[in-house]
Amino acid sequence: MKLDSIRSLEAFREIIQRGSATAAAQSLGLSQPAVSRLLGQLEEQLGFALFHRSKGRLLPTAQALMLFEEVDLALQGLDRVAALARDIHDSNAGHLRIVAPPSFAEGPLVKLVAGFLKQHPRIRVNIDSRTRPATMNLVATRTADCGFGKLPLDHPEIRMRPLISSPTVCVLPSVHPLARRKRALTASDLADEALILIGQQGGDTRQRIDQAFREVGRVAKVRMETRNVGAACALAAEGVGIAIVNELLSRNASWMDVSVRRFTPLIPHEYVFLTSAQVPGTPLTEAFYRHCQSTLRGMLRTAPRRPATR
């Protein structure tokens, strides 16, 4: 037997729970005759009476009481489905699979995800830390819902949307003379300083740093090279040299006894949000993108710096 009207089941449940068609009508926001019609339709479909009618009262039959428990469970299930649908629409439920290179996953992504979970406490998040090529592949194949990357990047199956432009900065011991008298540092300022650089020669950022030194007729005095921004900042704090790094990734060094100064000329690090170009993003993914945009901008605006003195 197929029941055509959920509304008639709701009317039946309300009459049982509230004891009268009038009270059920008030609960459902219907008129009393409308509730009576719904009940009559249900009884006709079932083929048996659900209530004894006596002196204006509705007394449930034995069959009605047997039916009530299952009807109540079924309607509760539908209520849960409706609530889940609302949560999904409002990005309050679901599973978000994120992939990012290690430097981003261990740095800015921590704050991004923590803040998003405070706003959406019922969602579940999975973070995968991969190399740049692997990050691109997981997003392109939709194994991950979204990812993070730094330009230049190119992939025909990935949609890239701008997130933040992070400048290059110098991290140096707070007692260093340049920290006390300079608000921004140039290649000329650093020409005689031992430097800690990220990566090896040939990378895009490294080439631009080398070019800045060539333009002032000098060569960077590279004392150490590392692929880890946190290590570079820690080494700077120990007095090994001045680290030239990405400001966004250097924020984890805020607890160290260091000063951060802008490097000029400007060398930006352009971050993008990665999703599949084949299908539209889910409401949850889009909400996370908007959260990342606003949070990252706030992070750079409030980047901790020890004030320069003159």
Per-residue model confidence as pLDDT tens digits over 190-219: 999 999 999 766 678 889 999 999 999 999
Q: What is the pLDDT of residue 90?
A: 59
Q: 154 with 295, same domain?
A: yes
Q: What is the CATH number of the domain that holds 84?
A: 1.10.10.10
Domain range for residue 154?
94-165+270-301
What are the Cα distances from residue 16, in Å, to 6, 41, 51, 69, 157? 16, 16, 9, 10, 56
Mean pLDDT of the region 4-33:
87
- pLDDT reading at 139 higher than 60: yes
Q: What is the CATH number of the domain that holds 261?
A: 3.40.190.10
pLDDT band of residue 306 (cuts 50, 70, 90) is: very low
Q: What is the pLDDT of residue 308?
A: 42
Mean model confidence pLDDT for the chain: 87
- pLDDT reading at 110 higher than 80: yes
Q: What is the pLDDT of residue 179?
A: 86
Q: How many domains does the chain have?
A: 3
pLDDT digits (tens, 9 = 90+) for 148-186: 999 989 899 999 999 999 999 999 998 899 988 778 999
Instruction: Determine, yes or no, domain membership for 251.
Output: yes
- pLDDT reading at 50 higher than 80: yes
Q: 173 with 154, same domain?
A: no
pLDDT band of residue 125 (cuts 50, 70, 90) is: very high
Q: 196 with 59, same domain?
A: no
Q: 64 with 105, same domain?
A: no
Q: 176 with 257, same domain?
A: yes
Q: What is the pLDDT of residue 223?
A: 94
Instruction: Determine, yes or no, domain membership for 132.
Output: yes
Instruction: Determine, yes or no, domain membership for 261.
Output: yes
Q: Kindly report the pTM of this predicted structure.
A: 0.68
Mean pLDDT of the region 275-297:
92
Separation CA 287–CA 295 (nearest Å): 12
Highest mean pLDDT: which range of 23-37, 47-61, 76-90: 23-37
Cβ burial of 41 (10 Å; 0-12, 13-18, 19+) is middle
Q: 133 with 208, same domain?
A: no
Q: 235 with 284, same domain?
A: no
Q: 46 with 188, same domain?
A: no
Which of 23, 57, 89 is the last residue before a domain boundary? 89
Instruction: Determine, yes or no, domain membership for 262.
Output: yes
Q: 135 with 283, same domain?
A: yes
pLDDT band of residue 305 (cuts 50, 70, 90) is: very low
Q: What is the pLDDT of residue 129?
A: 92
Instruction: Determine, yes or no, domain membership for 308.
Output: no
Instruction: Determine, yes or no, domain membership for 306.
Output: no
Mean pLDDT of the region 304-310:
42
